[in-house]
Amino acid sequence: MTSQETAEPVHVLVWAEHVEDQSNPAVREIYPATLHETIAEALRRILGPDVAATTATFHDPHQGLDADRLNATDVLIWWSHLIDDRIDDEAAERVRHRVLDGMGLIVLHSGSLSKAFRGLMGTRCTFMWREGNDRELLWTVAPTHPIARGVPHPVVIPVHEMYGEFFDVPEPDSLVFVSSFTGGEIMRSGMCWSRGLGRVFYFSPGHEEHPIYHQAEIQRILANAVLWCAPQPHAFATDAWPARETGWFENR
């Protein structure tokens, strides 16, 4: 965005299932303000007037995913774990189509198994995992990528659940981070794709039993990702294709 343009904040919706940070005392202690508010607050602090961050959860009307709310959202941040199967198919499809129409999507941790992400990827999105006491090191392999800006090399997550390969997703357009774990496993932990007119970033850190989203480096990555996948003003619009005498038609 150039400085001459009127700065519009990026409208971010942080959506989380909000189950374990209610029902599990250990998780509630880590996220007393809830997981989604913790993330939203970090974005507000880092990005200031460049962001307008709101939150929603599975327990809201329409599972927090009604069309009006999604249509007003530039970037959706998604954290889910236990309730993936209970998300309405229509809600998942609304999310997927909003991405195809230009909304950014940041999928966190176990959210890879959500219907919307699986629908965008076309694959099973499964992986190896182990709850334990691994240390995760997150290395930058795409140093010119905007999501890696200001991120230490490596980011050290003192204790985390292991997520490992083979992670069944399509080859990413950009591979930004790769993680190692004490057990020796590796994970492509930060990956970018485009789908239609929208951008998608998957980021694997975020087990609810560890204070991942309180960590400054992780918050920096999320803020970078919001800016990276925000829809661009005056972006490509499929309905702007010019009519011409030879005639063309779009079959959608």
Restricted to residues 105-124, the positions that interact with its own copies (CB under 8 A) are 113, 119-124
C-beta neighbour count of 130 within 10 angstroms: 13
Considering only 12, 14, 30, 148, the residue that binds its own copies (CB under 8 A) is 148
Q: How far is the CB of 152 from its own copies (least distance, A)?
A: 7
Site for its own copies in 49-68 (CB under 8 A): 49-50
- When asked if residue 166 is in the footprint of its own copies (CB under 8 A), the reply is yes
Interface segment toward its own copies; rule CB under 8 A; list 14-22, 60-68, 201-209, 232-240: 232-240
Judge whether 13 and 54 are in contact, CB under 8 Å.
yes
Interface segment toward its own copies; rule CB under 8 A; list 18-26, 29-37, 58-66, 186-194: 186-194
Torsions phi, psi for 219 (to 5 deg): -60, -40
Judge whether 105 and 76 are in contact, CB under 8 Å.
yes
Nearer to its own copies, 56 or 91 (CB): 91
- When asked if residue 23 is in the footprint of its own copies (CB under 8 A), the reply is no
Q: Is the dihedral of CA 251, 173, 80, 34 positive or negative?
A: negative
C-beta neighbour count of 86 within 10 angstroms: 10
Q: How far is the CB of 139 from its own copies (least distance, A)?
A: 5
> What is the distance between the alpha carbons of residues 58 and 70, in angstroms, rounded to a whole number?
14
Amino acid at 209: E
